[in-house]
Each structure stands twice: as structure tokens, then as C-alpha cells.
Amino acid sequence: MDMAQVKNLINILGKMKDLRRRGWVNRDIKNPESDAGHSFSVALLTMLLAPEELDLCKCVQMALVHDLPEVFCGDFVPNEIAPEEKQRLETEAMRQLVQQLNVPKMADLFAEFEAGQTPEARFVKAIDRVDNVLTAEYYRTTQGIDLVAEFIQSALPRVMRLDEKTQKSLLRILQDLSVAKSDKDIF
């Protein structure tokens, strides 16, 4: 990396750390997680839970870049804008990132994640939602704001697109959280 790219990287990383996830902000969570915190959490969960048959390196890389375009286009909550517009804005933001950092592979990883067609992309998309459940549980226990059931419902469709063994593993985590808070009607 040349000095201009290093300066761009410093700016991008700073923005990722500063960008608070709007879904939590809108729900009055105190000190809500940043995009950087979420991306790290998704990457760590990916590393810990990825099935052996997946390309772990690709999965972790995908987890790290999946929300990176938000530094330029912002964090959208579901149904805030049309999916096509969100895709257009995020794709343009990814072009900016690639240009500023000169890392074309990021665009490929992001496109694969967004398409959700490969086993790796489907897995990281599911983990992205599972992380929201775990974060909701953290906020429930630390702030008394209970959004766990809502986020479990959001995660289930993504988890159900995975192979049976991985489904069972992730469903056990979600079900344990549901049972722990006596919300048995989810499953």
C-alpha cells in the first residue's frame, strides 16, 4: 500500500468504528455496536462455527467486508429503501472502497456475499443474522430491552437455507436462547 492508500484505510477503519448500527440506535440501545464491532463478531462466529467443507478463509474475509460499503452509503434498516436502491448504493460504495484501497478482491467477496449463491455466502449471511440474535441477547441481559424473539425470526429463514448439519448446529444455539428466556413459541 502506498501512503495515500494507508490514509484512505485509516479513514475507512475510523468510519467503520464510528458508524453505529441504526437498528439498535432506533431501538434506544445505549452505546450500540458499531459496524466494525458487528463485522468482527460475524468474522469470529464464522471462524468458530463454519463447517469443515467450506473455504474458511473466504468465509472470514466475506464476513469482514460484508458491511464495509456502509462507510460510504450508510447503514439501512430493513424496508427503509427499495432493495434495488440499496444494492446500487452499496455496489457504488464498494467501487469507492476498491478504488481507494486498490483491493479488487473485496468487490468480488462482497458480490458473492450479496448474491448468496455459494455455500460460503449462504453461511456468512446466516451468521450475520445469528450475530444479531446474540447481540440482542446481550442487550436483553445488560439493558433489559428484549428483542431476541424478533431477531430469531429474522435469522431462521437464512439458517434454513444451510445444509442439515449446519442448520441443526445453529438452530440449537437459537433454540437455547429462546428456551432460556421462556419464549418457546418461536420453534
Is the pLDDT higher at 185 or at 173?
173
Residue 179 pLDDT level (bands cut at 50, 70, 90): low
DSSP state of 80: S
Alpha carbon distance 150, 133 (integer Å): 8
Q: Read off the pLDDT of each residue in 106-132 and give the average, rounded to a whole number.
A: 98
Residues 64, 38 contacting (CB under 8 angstroms):
no
Q: What is the CATH number of the domain that holds 88?
A: 1.10.3210.10
Answer for the pair 59, 4: CB distance below 8 angstroms, yes or no.
no
> Cell 433489559 maps to which residue?
144
Distance of CA 12 to the CA centre of its chain: 17
Q: Domains in the chain: how many in total?
A: 1
> Residue 184 pLDDT > 70, yes or no?
no
User: Is the pLDDT assigned to residue 91 strictly greater than 80?
Assistant: yes
Residue 161 neighbours by CB under 8 Å, 6+ apart = 116, 122, 125, 126
Label residue 177 by pLDDT band (50, 70, 90): confident
Separation of alpha carbons 22 and 35, rounded Å: 10
- Give me the domain span that covers residue 97: 3-186
Region 116-144: what's the mean pLDDT?
97
What is the Cα Rg of the chain in Å? 17
Average pLDDT over residues 56-82: 96
- Name the average pLDDT for the chain: 94
- Does residue 18 register a pLDDT over 70? yes
What are the grid coordinates assigned to 120, written together? 460460503
Does pLDDT of 87 surpass 60?
yes
| Mean pLDDT on 118-134 | 98
What would the mean pLDDT of 67-94 be, rounded to a whole number? 95
List C-alpha distances in Å: 85 to 50, 88, 116. Answer: 31, 5, 18
Q: Virtual CA dihedral for 20, 31, 17, 38, nearest 10 degrees?
A: -70
Count of H-run helices and E-run strands, the chain: 10, 0
| Dist. CA 58–CA 56, nearest whole Å | 5
Is 129 a residue whose pLDDT tops 60? yes
Q: What is the pLDDT of residue 178?
A: 81
**Band of residue 186 on the pLDDT scale cut at 50, 70, 90:** low
| Those residues with Cβ within 8 angstroms of residue 42's Cβ, 6 or more apart along the chain or in another chain | 63, 66, 124, 127, 128, 131
DSSP states of 34-66: BHHHHHHHHHHHHHHH--TTS-HHHHHHHHHHT
Q: How confident is the model at residue 139 (pLDDT cuts 50, 70, 90)?
A: very high
- Percentage of the chain beyond pLDDT 90 is 91
Q: What is the pTM of this model?
A: 0.93
